[in-house]
Chain A
């Protein structure tokens, strides 16, 4: 069964820092990996999707990489802002369902 792990569970950084969030998964047979943002009491907002054949995707200050063979993905956030404070979830799409990690709670301190 696919297991998805995210490290660290929580992260606090000063505004302006670059940071990396990590995601690992146990079974490399995936269709894609998607990074989401979840604000308190809200749904999930899709940030980036990487297909299994791709190595990375970029959107603005966000860059996500995928190393399927080693079961790892990273989300890089450049020049962090207080508005980036949220929980970041990664999910792998395998079979016909998403398997989610437990998330990284990010706090960006002004």
Chain B
């Protein structure tokens, strides 16, 4: 069964550095999402992306964050000037159509030191 893949599985970065988290959504899916889960807390929505543009973003997704679909297969989340509180699991998800099941990757554990 097709799946969403995320790399790396674990990223350790010094505070203030930039990180790029990578995702390969399921190939025929059109809607892409990023979520994060701080340890012990709820999964939180960050951003949704459709037709090469952001369709929705949460209050968390400020100027520190950006997303990009640089080619036909990858979907990236860039976090600039990382802070300690950015430490979390970051999940990518995709769905074939709006209002269809979202399929999640296994996540990238981001640790900011």
Q: Which residues of A contact B (CB under 8 A)?
A: 31-32, 34, 36, 42-46, 49, 51, 89, 91, 93, 95-103
Contacts and interface: CB of A to CB of B under 8 A. Distances in A.
A43 B91 contact: yes
Nearest to B107: A43
- Candidate in B44, B45, B55, B105 with the most chain A CB atoms within 10 angstroms: B45
A96 B48 contact: yes
Interface of B: 4, 6, 33, 35, 41-45, 48, 55-56, 58, 91, 93, 98-107
Contact of A100 (B44, B48, B55): B44
B6, B98, B100 — most chain A CB neighbours (10 Å): B100
A89 to B, nearest CB: 7
B105 A31 contact: no
B48 A44 contact: no
A61 B4 CA distance: 25
A96 B99 CA distance: 9
Contact of B106 (A42, A96, A100): A42
A102 B38 CA distance: 12
10 contacts: A31-B98, A42-B106, A49-B100, A89-B43, A91-B43, A93-B99, A95-B56, A97-B56, A99-B45, A100-B44
A71 B42 CA distance: 19
A44 B58 CA distance: 20
B56 to A, nearest CB: 4
A58 B70 CA distance: 39
A10 to B, nearest CB: 13
A36 B107 CA distance: 15
A31 B103 contact: no
Nearest to A34: B101
